[in-house]
């Protein structure tokens, strides 16, 4: 009986020891797995940290390089701007000097040739009058070219200012037409005016308005061989100037000719400096190609605009709009 009890006790102890061994093995396996997981987790975290550090370092280096490149670019831009400003100032000084140096002798030549043509110093034969007339006309032409170049240079440099004043627009139109009438008569062209009676007064730069009209009329006469030139002028009740949101009264002037016309391909570049249409007749006429470019810039400064409609061999129509009240450009 006792032996049976001892055997059972031994069996129980053996079972408990076996279970303890199994539990110990399971615990050790769990600990090993935990250690492996911790090791792998630590290694993974280390790799993530290293990768993040490398990415951050690369990003910092890239940003630093970008900032340095931006600083270098800004420095170059500042230097280029300074050089451009210096060059512009030098050009302005040169133009101011040349304005005096060229205009003064040209005016003297024009004046003295005019005096000689009046025969105040004695009679002239036909050949002498012809030669003096050529000297005077060439000097006038050269002076006009000098004035055009100086004007476009001032406009492009932002140095030309509009002088607002109140004046009768009809008087400015009449004066402009009167100045170009000899050119039309010389070519036996009809020069007509169709003008509203109530144009009244406007406030802007009279000298520049007349300059624009003379440019347009001169061009129309220059490129017209038959027919004539007609100037239309009328009142606009509402004109919306570029860069404004309030319509205002204006004057619309159209110069219509029966000349050679302009090819559609040439219209986009018509108001660019030093451009003339590529036509056999156009090349027969002297000029810098600045008249239309100057007119376009002047009208912009006055808050107005210029447009053109033309077809080859069918003539051209240039339309100018001038606000009644001076507008400062943007």
Question: pLDDT per residue over 2-17, tens digit each?
Answer: 666 666 666 666 676 6
196 and 115 belong to one structural domain? no
Least confident of 42-56, 156-170, 294-308: 42-56
Residue 108 has pLDDT above 70, yes or no: yes
Residue 118 within a domain: yes
Neighbours of 152 (CB within 10 A): 19
155 and 178 belong to one structural domain? no
How many structural domains compose the chain?
2
Q: Is 307 helix (H, G, I), strand (E, B) or coil?
A: strand
- The pair of structure tokens assigned to 7 is 């055997």
Q: What percent of the chain has pLDDT over 90?
A: 37
Under a CB-based contact definition with an 8 Å cutoff, are residues 259 and 277 in contact?
no
239 and 311 belong to one structural domain? yes
With residue 166 as reference, give the H or E element that holds it. Answer: strand 165-168
Residue 328 within a domain: no
Q: If we measure between CA atoms, which residue out of 222, 219, 229, 284 comes closest to residue 258?
A: 229
Residue 330 within a domain: no
Look at residue 252 in the predicted model and tell me its pLDDT: 97
Residue 66 within a domain: yes
197 and 302 belong to one structural domain? yes
Look at residue 281 in the predicted model and tell me its pLDDT: 46
Residue 38 within a domain: yes
For 314, residues 6+ apart whose C-beta sits below 8 A from its C-beta are: 261
With residue 17 as reference, give the H or E element that holds it. Answer: helix 2-117
310 and 257 belong to one structural domain? yes
Q: Average model confidence (pLDDT) for the chain?
A: 84
225 and 239 belong to one structural domain? yes
Q: If we measure between CA atoms, which residue out of 184, 205, 180 comes closest to residue 325?
A: 205
Question: Given the DSSP bridges, would you call strands 228-239 and 248-257 parallel, antiparallel or unpaired?
Answer: antiparallel
- Domain of residue 298 covers 165-323
Which range, 24-28, 134-138, 207-211, 324-328, is most confident? 207-211
- The pair of structure tokens assigned to 107 is 């005016």
88 and 183 belong to one structural domain? no
Q: What percent of the chain has pLDDT over 70?
A: 83
pLDDT tens per residue across span 235-261: 999 898 877 788 999 999 999 999 999
Report the CATH number that the domain containing residue 294 is assigned in CATH.
Answer: 3.30.565.10
Residue 330 has pLDDT above 60, yes or no: no
Distance linking the first and last C-alpha atoms of the chain: 122
206 and 268 belong to one structural domain? yes
């Amino acid at each position: 009986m006792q032996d049976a009890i001892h055997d059972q006790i031994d069996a129980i102890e053996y079972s408990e020891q076996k279970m303890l061994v199994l539990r110990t093995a399971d615990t050790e396996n769990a600990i090993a797995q935990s250690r492996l997981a911790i090791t792998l987790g630590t290694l993974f975290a280390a790799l993530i940290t290293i990768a993040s550090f490398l990415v951050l370092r690369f990003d910092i280096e890239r940003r630093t390089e970008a900032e340095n490149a931006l600083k270098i670019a800004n420095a170059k831009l500042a230097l280029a701007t300074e050089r451009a400003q210096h060059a512009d100032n030098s050009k302005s000084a040169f133009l101011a000097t040349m304005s005096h140096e060229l205009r003064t002798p040209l005016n003297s030549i024009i004046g003295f040739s005019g005096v000689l043509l009046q025969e105040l110093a004695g009679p002239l034969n036909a050949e002498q009058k012809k030669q003096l007339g050529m000297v005077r006309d060439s000097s006038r032409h050269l002076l006009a070219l000098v004035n055009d170049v100086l004007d476009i240079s001032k406009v492009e440099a932002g140095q030309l200012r509009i002088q607002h004043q109140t004046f009768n627009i009809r008087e400015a139109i009449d004066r402009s037409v009167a100045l170009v009438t000899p050119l039309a008569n010389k070519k036996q062209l009809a020069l007509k005016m169709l003008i509203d009676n109530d144009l009244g007064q406007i406030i802007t730069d009279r000298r520049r308005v007349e300059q624009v009209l003379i440019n347009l009329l001169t061009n129309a006469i220059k490129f017209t061989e038959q027919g004539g030139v007609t100037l239309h002028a009328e009142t606009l009740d509402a004109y919306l100037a570029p860069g404004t949101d309030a319509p205002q009264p204006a004057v619309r002037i159209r110069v219509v000719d029966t000349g050679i016309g302009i090819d559609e391909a040439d219209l986009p570049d018509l108001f660019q400096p030093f451009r003339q249409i590529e036509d056999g007749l156009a090349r027969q006429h002297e000029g810098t190609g600045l008249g239309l470019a100057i007119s376009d810039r002047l009208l912009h400064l006055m808050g107005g605009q210029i447009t053109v409609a033309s077809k080859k061999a069918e003539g051209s129509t240039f339309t100018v709009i001038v606000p009644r009240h001076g507008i400062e450009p943007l």
